[in-house]
Amino acid sequence: MPEPVDVLELGEAARKRLGFLVAAHGLTGVQRLNRLLDGSRGETSAEHSWHLALAALVLGDDTELDMARVLGMLLVHDVVEVDAGDVPIYDVEARLAIVADEERAAARLFGLLPAGTSETLHELWREFEAAETPEARFARALDRLQPILVHWAGTGAAWAERGTTVAEERELAARVAELWPPFGPVATALIDDALTRGLLREG
């Protein structure tokens, strides 16, 4: 266990910020269903969040979105998994059941920060979850699109492991298109090619 930040000869606000960063580093140990492209291990939630932030810069450069807000949402959206863990998107019942756990995790983790920063990051997390603003809908669409891209580019290893069907992925593609219509054709193209190459099974 790392030494508590309280031992540091710093102001309270600085100690709180460092304490949050130490806690958030726990996201590097949260495993996801996605696998690395070489299939060697599962992707972590921290790696997922980084890839989403990069994807936002690459795929959102021609939009009028507040990209700083998008990046903020993508960098904090999974911090709650430090406490609550990750539940695959396919497990609808478990996703619903974990909502209260995630809200408690958000309160604890963002509560480690000084008041102003705590409220700012907590609000970004809430905005992402609500998916009502254009920035949040773009971010949520990316959160659905990125796994499809990684599964496709990694020759479908995670799809094969869980027996994912093309129908399941088309449901995710429909949600992507609903959240951010320009991403719909991208998701569909990835899934169509995966089916053609035998990376997804019928059903």
Domain holding 131, by residue range, is: 5-196
Q: Average model confidence (pLDDT) for the chain?
A: 91
For the chain, the domain total comes to 1
Q: Give CA angle at 145 (57, 65), nearest 5°.
A: 35
Alpha-helix residue ranges (DSSP H) falling in 60-165: 67-76, 81-84, 92-97, 99-110, 115-130, 134-153, 157-162
96 belongs to a structural domain: yes
- Is residue 38 scored above 50 in pLDDT? yes
**pLDDT score at 1:** 47
Residue 159 inside a domain? The answer is yes
Q: What is the rounded CA–CA span in Å between residue 106 and residue 195?
A: 38
Highest average pLDDT, of 163-167, 172-176, 197-201, comes from 172-176
Does 142 map to a domain?
yes
**Whether the Cβ atoms of residue 33 and residue 88 lie closer than 8 Å to each other:** yes
Residues 6+ apart with CB under 8 A from 4: 19
pLDDT confidence of 112, banded at 50, 70, 90?
very high
For residues 4 and 49, the model is more confident at 49
| In a domain? residue 83 | yes
The answer to whether residue 9 sits within a structural domain is yes
Report which DSSP code applies to 9.
S
Return the axis-axis angle of helices 134-153 and 166-179, rounded to nearest 10°.
150
Whether this model's pTM surpasses 0.95? no
Residue 144 has pLDDT above 60, yes or no: yes
Q: For the segment 60-100, what is each residue's pLDDT rounded down to a tens digit?
A: 988 999 999 999 999 999 999 999 877 776 666 766 677 88
Least confident residue range of 30-34, 103-107, 119-123, 196-200: 30-34
| Share above pLDDT 90 across residues of the chain, in percent, rounded to a whole number | 73
With a CB cutoff of 8 Å and minimum separation 6, the contacts of 14 are 8
pLDDT in tens, 94-105: 666 778 889 999
pLDDT surpasses 80 at 162: yes
More confident residue, 145 or 2: 145
Give the CATH number for residue 189.
Answer: 1.10.3210.10
